[in-house]
Amino acid sequence: MSQGVEMVGLYVRDQDEAVTFYVEKLGFKIHTDVKNGTYRWLTVQHPDQPSFQLGLFVPEQPMIDAAGAKALRELLAKGAMPPLVMAVDDCRAAYDRMKARGVEFTQEPTERYGNVDASFRDPSGNGWKLMQSARKK
């Protein structure tokens, strides 16, 4: 596939903390980590999904004005950012593995309509759903 969505950025409160979380706790790999002055372009990649990058960015000046950056940091911490979904083959196994690594789960694996899902948050407050879909089997 040569066309499609290549990168989607997330806001995080701290890029060092975020990259540690996504790499060490979730198993992502660093794709790009480039600094230009104080600006840091940081993306990670799911090991099974080489065509997609997840960007980890801090809401900060001069990309955003000071009041806007402050508002975004507050909204992020309040869990107000949009939903994120990660597909897994086995939700309960993924839950056990991630929980053992210290991931903060907000909902244990639950079966609904044949799907099994669980919820967790990254350290910044982004809410993820782990989704094992019955339809894929």
Partner 1 sequence: MTLDPDVLRRLLRARDRMDAAPHEEWPVHRLARVSGVSHAYFARSFKQAFGVPPHRYLLTRRIERATALLRDTELSITDIAFGTGWNSVGTFGRTFHDVVGENPSELRARARAEAHQLADVPACYTAAALRPDLTIAVSEKRRRMANGNDRSTTGGSHEPRRRNGRSLRARPR
Q: Is 119 in the site for partner 1 (CB under 8 A)?
A: yes
Query: Among the candidate windows 25-33, 37-45, 47-55, 123-131, which touches partner 1 by CB under 8 A?
Result: 123-131
If binding is defined by CB under 8 A, does position 83 make contact with partner 1? Answer: yes
73 near partner 1, rule: CB under 8 A: yes
Phi-psi region of 82 (alpha: psi -120 to 50; beta: other; left: phi over 0): beta
Residue type for 77, please? A
Burial of 76-101, coded b for 16+ CB within 10 Å and e otherwise, reads beeeebeeeeeebeebeebbeebeee
**Token pair belonging to 108:** 């244990």
Among 2, 113, 136, 137, binds partner 1 (CB under 8 A): 113
**Cα distance between residue 93 and residue 117, in whole Å:** 11
Subset of residues 87 to 106 that bind partner 1, contact rule: CB under 8 A? 104, 106
Please identify, among the stretches 19-27, 37-45, 48-56, 79-87, the one whose residues bind partner 1 according to the rule CB under 8 A: 79-87
Instruction: Look at strands 53-57 and 39-45 and give their pairing.
Output: antiparallel
Residue number, 50 or 79, with CB nearest to partner 1: 79
Q: Which spans of this chain sit near partner 1 (rule: CB under 8 A)?
A: 13, 73-74, 76-79, 83, 85, 104, 106-108, 112-113, 117, 119, 121, 124-125, 129, 131
